[in-house]
Amino acid sequence: QSTQKEESPLLTELRQMLWKNRKPVSPVDQVRPDLYIGDEKTALEFSGLRDLSITHVLNAAEGKFNNVLTGAEYYSDMDIQYYGVEADDKPTFNISQFFRPAAQFIHEALGHPENKVLVHCVMGRSRSASLVLAYLMMKQSLTVVDAIEHVRQRRCILPNHGFLKQLRALDITLQEERLREKRETNGAQ
């Protein structure tokens, strides 16, 4: 029986994936059924949110760093569930502290077939993309490579170097957890 774990790719390999055959930049793109990544303009326009039937908004650019001035109050007339993350789009910022709560917010929302989630930041390319990638890795069991490949086929994303490093660390942790669970399951038989 094999206990070999997959190797997580180097950061340079992840960067190369992101730069290869890039999609044109657009305000919003559907990256999974009922899951969208978008920019600030998309998050601010009620008519567009209604057209997409958005029920949940995750703002990855809330507060003092970014000034995408939305919030639960902003959407109060629209019956939209809101979750805000104060993330700075700098390689030194620890976005991984938001991986679990953001993934949980998305996961719970998508647990109901009528819900649609918009994850956004200012441009919809770094912070929001990083949180969606973490969701795909944590809740859909994708590797970092599979998550990036999946999203980049649908949207031009470019998480900064520090965020990629944190996503790679998450990938390694999740692979180790899955390997440990597999060993425990095989050992129990």
Q: How many other CB atoms are found less than 10 A from the CB of residue 19?
A: 9
Show the tokens assigned to 66. Answer: 């970014």
pTM, rounded to two decimals: 0.90
DSSP secondary structure letter of residue 95: G
For the domain covering 11-188, report its CATH number. 3.90.190.10
Residue pair 46/78 in contact by the 8 Å Cβ criterion: yes
Instruction: Encode pLDDT of 89-105 as tens digits.
Output: 999 999 999 999 999 99
What mean pLDDT is predicted for residues 18-46?
A: 91
Domain boundaries, the chain: 11-188
3-state secondary structure of 5: coil
Amino acid at 42: T
Spatial strand order in the sheet of 35-38: 28-32, 35-38, 117-120, 56-59, 81-84
Q: Which residue out of 35, 57, 121, 147 is catalytically annotated?
A: 121
Phi/psi of residue 136, each to 5°? -60, -35
Give the integer Cα–Cα distance in Å for 13 and 134.
Answer: 18
Q: What is the pLDDT of residues 148-159, one digit of tens each?
A: 999 999 999 999
> pLDDT digits over 105-154, tens only?
999 999 999 999 999 999 999 999 999 999 999 999 999 999 999 999 99
Check if 156 is active-site: no
Residue 123: count other Cβ atoms within 10 Å of its Cβ. 20
pLDDT of residue 6: 56
Distance CA(40)–CA(22), nearest Å, equals 21
Report the 10 Å Cβ neighbour count for 13.
11
